[in-house]
Chains A and B, each alone.
Chain A
Amino acid sequence: AQKITQTQPGMFVQEKEAVTLDCTYDTSDPSYGLFWYKQPSSGEMIFLIYQGSYDQQNATEGRYSLNFQKARKSANLVISASQLGDSAMYFCAMGPGNQFYFGTGTSLTVIP
């Protein structure tokens, strides 16, 4: 069975600093996708970044990068140069096939 684990319920980061949000996964499927979503206090789910299991390079999208370590089954999100608007819940997700599995989320607070 597939499983997504986020072990950090809450994180704090100083504005303009970088922060890493952890995500580990478990699957027996050889082909899968890993996603990160942001959920601000307004509640909507915002797609941030995607990594395919066969992608050779780590995904990057602006200030977001995904540190993909396949052997360790980890897909950590790195946010560089944190901004106050980055304060939100962040969810890691995995999507092989029918279901997209979500972790329990990490609440990030950016401190001015």
Chain B
Amino acid sequence: NAGVMQNPRHLVRRRGQEARLRCSPMKGHSHVYWYRQLPEEGLKFMVYLQKENIIDESGMPKERFSAEFPKEGPSILRIQQVVRGDSAAYFCASSPRTGPNTGELFFGEGSRLTVL
């Protein structure tokens, strides 16, 4: 039973390029969360998606960042025109359901973006 799969594990981009991070949730999970972790810091919520719907994107920067979770295929976190401050680990997590008293989030191993 495969866990949450993220790729690429490591991504290097030059300033101004685009970064695409992919996340395949655990089988049967229809809820996906993206978090960003800066060095020496905790995880900051970015966006919560269900299939074909963005439920909560209150943690997403207003510009350059977008996320989707299509009916078929992985969830994509897209960062356009990357800047050095975007360098971070981006974690995807999935859950089988939402609401109070849910079970845990299942995390992927993260995608580490380095912007040169």
Contact = CB atoms under 8 A, between A and B. Distances in A.
Interface string A28-41: 01011101010000
B100 A43 contact: no
A96 B102 CA distance: 8
A95 B43 CA distance: 13
A98 interface: yes
Instruction: Classify chain A: how many residues form its interface, as a range.
Output: 20 to 34
A32 B42 contact: no
Contacts, number: 68
B65 interface: no
Nearest to A99: B45
Nearest to A100: B105
Interface of B: 33, 35, 41-45, 48, 55-56, 58-59, 89, 91, 93, 98-107, 109-110, 112
